[in-house]
Amino acid sequence: MASSPRAAPARLPYPLLYAGLGVVLLVAAYASLTLGYKLYSPADIWGLLRGETGQAQIVLMQYRVPRVVIAPLVGAALGVAGLMVQTLSRNRIASPDTLGLNAGASFAVVVASAGFGVSSMLGLSAAAATGALLTSLLVFAIAAGSGGLSPIRIVLIGVTIAGLFSALVEVVLTVRETMLDQLLFWLAGAVVDRPLTLVETGGPIVLIGIAIAFLLAPSLDILQTDDQTARGLGVPVALVRAGAFAAIALLTGASVAMAGPVGFVGLVVPHAARAMVGLKHTHQFLAAGLFGAIYLTIADVVARFVIYPLEAPVGAVTAVVGGIVLVVLLRRRAA
């Protein structure tokens, strides 16, 4: 007797889902404000909201509020960028990390800082975005020139490029030892001790990247098939890819400039987004933005306690989780 087809998993209505994710994000932000080496009470938070200027409020404003803003912003950016990378490569294990974009952006920032003395947020953001864009073009150009855009080939080339740029970063830091202490924690990916002024430049760049992603969403839905089908349906494939590359570069570059190369967020978040909302990119982007913000905010809180009383870089936490997810995905593909 033939087995009946398995029914699609029931999903929450979109408004309820997004409202729920919004509530979870608020709870995570509250936890980020109150938890850490020093615990703060609801009265301290209420005093901050009322504009009081006590010692607790000053510390909260200088050290906790910036990371409560930067962590979700970076998480949302990397989640949306990861979705676009997986769509363009048609590979569910691709991400800004596995394609070498984080490493390329990091190398560009280190070169700009060490070689040209760039220290402004605008300059570092421009360098990181340029590095991410050039790396993405390099990976896809090499893949196209070596037998076509095979999903596995793209990932293998990306991992190789990432290793190359990571090695070059170590060479630059070895030559310029005075920069080592300054950049070592940043290169591990962290949102601690970041000034709120980073958001003034990084925030608009992230918003522009996400806006481009939403504009491209209908075309990306069709691009999930193949290039020939997409062209037959009227999608300007080259133009859509160029726009997506630009958005990925902006999102990855701004994220690296604000928090360093936080790994594997762009791998984990898209899978969660698809599980929640299905394959339509408009909903995927919204879900990925919200879930990415929640994910990195919670990871930042966890990073404060894994080696307590010291603090681990948030990139170390996301790398552990992402590494486990990557192994699971690879095992499923091999099964």
Reported pTM: 0.89
Report the C-alpha gap between 311 and 307 in whole angstroms. Answer: 6
Of 18-22, 158-162, 282-286, least confident by mean pLDDT is: 158-162
| pLDDT at residue 150, as a whole number | 66
DSSP string, 44-87: HHHHHHTT--SHHHHHIIIIIHHHHHHHHHHHHHHHHHHHHHHH
Is 37 domain-assigned? no
Assigned domain for 21 exists: no
Residue 66 maps to a domain: no
Question: Residue 7 has what pLDDT?
Answer: 47
CATH code for position 165: 1.10.3470.10
pLDDT of residue 181: 64
Provide mean pLDDT across the span 5-31: 84
Does residue 263 lie in a domain region?
yes
In a domain, 267, yes or no: yes
> What is the per-residue pLDDT for 178?
67
Helix, strand or coil for residue 97? coil
Structure confidence at residue 193 (pLDDT): 82
Least confident of 37-46, 104-113, 158-167, 295-304: 104-113
Please tell me the least confidently modeled range out of 41-50, 81-90, 139-148, 223-232. 139-148
Q: Is the pLDDT assigned to residue 6 strictly greater than 70? A: no
Distances (CA, A) of 98 to 85, 143, 162, 233: 10, 14, 7, 31
pLDDT bracket for residue 2 (50, 70, 90): very low
- Does residue 24 fall inside a structural domain? no
Burial class (CB in 10 A: 0-12, 13-18, 19+), 194: buried
Query: Is the residue at 198 inside a domain?
Result: yes
Residue 46 lies in a domain: no
**How many domains does the structure of the chain reveal?**
1
Domain that includes residue 252, residue range: 71-334
pLDDT at 10: 60
